[in-house]
Amino acid sequence: MKKKICVLFVLLLSLTLFGYSQEGLKVFISVDMEGVCGVVHWEDVSRSGKDYGLFRRLMTEETNAAIEGALAAGATEILVRDSHGSARNILPDLLHPSAELIRDWAYSPLSMMEGIDETFDAVIFIGYHARANTPDATLDHTMSSSAVYEVTLNGKKMPEAGINAFIAGNFRVPVVLVAGDKAICQQVTELFGEVETVAVKEGIGNAAKMLHPKKAQELIKKKTTEALNRVSDFKPFTFTPPYTMDVTFRDEWRAEDASWFPGAKRKTSTTVSYTSNDWMDVLRFFKFAF
C-alpha cells in the first residue's frame, strides 16, 4: 500500500512540475506572414521582394516551432493552413513531417481557415498581425490593405484573427495561442479573454523592435505546449445570433459594389452592413464584399 501511495505521489509531482500530455489532440494551425519575426516591410512578404526567400523560411520555422510544441503536448494530428498572399509561402520540404499542409486557395468562405471542422481540439495562429489602422503595428490591415478600412462583427472591431476565431468558434473549436506583433497580442486578449500570446516584435511607427528569430521560435514552441496542456481552459469565440457584419471600405465604389449582395444594406457612403442568423451567410457576404 505504501508503495502504491509513493508511486501516485511521484506521478502527481511530475504532472505538477512538468505538465502532462493531452494524448490524441488534433490541432489546426493557420499561418500568416506579416506577423513573423523579422518582417517589417511589405517587400518582405511579397514574392517579388528580394528577401522574400528568407522570410518564407522564417515563416516555416515558426510554424515548425508550433508543431513541435503541439507534439510535445501529445498532438497526433496537425493540419497547417498557409494563409498569406498566394497561400504558397511555407516551404513544404522544410515543414515538420508530422504535419499536413494546405497550400493555395480553395476560394471558399472559410479562406484562411480552410480545413477546419468540429473534429479539431484547438487552433493556433502564427505570424498574425493587427487590424487595419492600428497605431504602432507591423503591416496592419484587415484582409486587404488597399480595400478595407474596418470590419466589425456584432459591434466589435475585428482583426483577421477575430474573423478566423469566429469561424473556428462556430465549429466549437477554441483559439489557444496567437503569435505575432505586440499589437495583435493585445487585440486578441481583449477579444478572446483567455488566450496564450507570443509577441515576437513591437511596432514603432513603421519600424519594429523584435526578438531574435530563434528566441521567437523557442517561445512559440514553449507557449504552444503550455496552451495545449490546458486546452480545456479555452472557450470557442462566438457571438449570439443574429450576426451583423459591417465592412467599411477605403473607396466609395467598393461599398456600392458590395451593397449588391442580397440582403446587404448601405449604411454610409463607404460602409455596408449584412445581418443573418446563419454565420456561413455572413462569411459569404464577406467573401463577396472584397
Q: What domains can be seen in the chain, in order of their start residue?
A: 23-233 (3.40.50.10780), 243-289 (no CATH)
Q: What mean pLDDT is reported for the chain? A: 93
Grid coordinates of 131: 487590424
pLDDT tier, 6 (very low <50, low <70, confident <90, very high otherwise) = very low
For the cut 50, the answer to whether the pLDDT of residue 203 exceeds it is: yes
Grid coordinates of 179: 503569435
pLDDT tier, 146 (very low <50, low <70, confident <90, very high otherwise) = confident
**What separation in angstroms does the CA of 206 have from each of 45, 139, 140, 145, 281?**
15, 8, 10, 15, 36
For the cut 60, the answer to whether the pLDDT of residue 5 exceeds it is: no
pLDDT at 241: 97
Pairing verdict, β 271-276 and 243-249:
antiparallel
Q: What percent of the chain has pLDDT over 70?
A: 92
Q: What is the DSSP letter of 33?
A: S
pLDDT tier, 156 (very low <50, low <70, confident <90, very high otherwise) = very high
3-state secondary structure of 166: helix
Mean pLDDT across 26-34: 98
> Nearest-5° angle of CA 221, CA 223, CA 226?
110
pLDDT at 19: 46
For the cut 50, the answer to whether the pLDDT of residue 12 exceeds it is: no
For the cut 90, the answer to whether the pLDDT of residue 26 exceeds it is: yes
Grid coordinates of 124: 493556433
**What separation in angstroms does the CA of 68 have from each of 73, 88, 189, 236?**
9, 22, 24, 23
pLDDT at 21: 58
Beta bridge partners of 257: none
75 residue type, one letter: A
Grid coordinates of 148: 478595407
Peptide bond preceding 236 in cis form (omega within 30 of 0):
no
pLDDT at 89: 98
pLDDT at 248: 97
Q: Which residue has the higher pLDDT, 9 or 104?
A: 104
For the cut 90, the answer to whether the pLDDT of residue 145 exceeds it is: no
What does the longest C-alpha to C-alpha distance in the chain come to?
78
Question: What is the side-by-side order of every strand in the sheet holding 175-181?
Answer: 99-102, 75-82, 25-31, 122-128, 175-181, 196-204, 207-210
Q: For residue 34, which of 162, 183, 157 has the smallest C-alpha distance?
A: 183
Integer Rg of the chain from CA: 20
Task: Round to whole Å and give the CA distance between 146 and 255.
Answer: 13
> Nearest-5° angle of CA 207, CA 212, CA 215?
135
Q: What percent of the chain has pLDDT over 90?
A: 90
Mean pLDDT across 126-138: 97
pLDDT tier, 249 (very low <50, low <70, confident <90, very high otherwise) = very high
224 residue type, one letter: T
Mean pLDDT across 143-160: 95
pLDDT tier, 23 (very low <50, low <70, confident <90, very high otherwise) = confident
For the cut 50, the answer to whether the pLDDT of residue 10 exceeds it is: no
For the cut 90, the answer to whether the pLDDT of residue 273 exceeds it is: yes
Task: Round to whole Å and give the CA distance between 238 and 247.
Answer: 19
Task: Round to whole Å and give the CA distance between 250 and 148.
Answer: 6
pLDDT at 290: 80
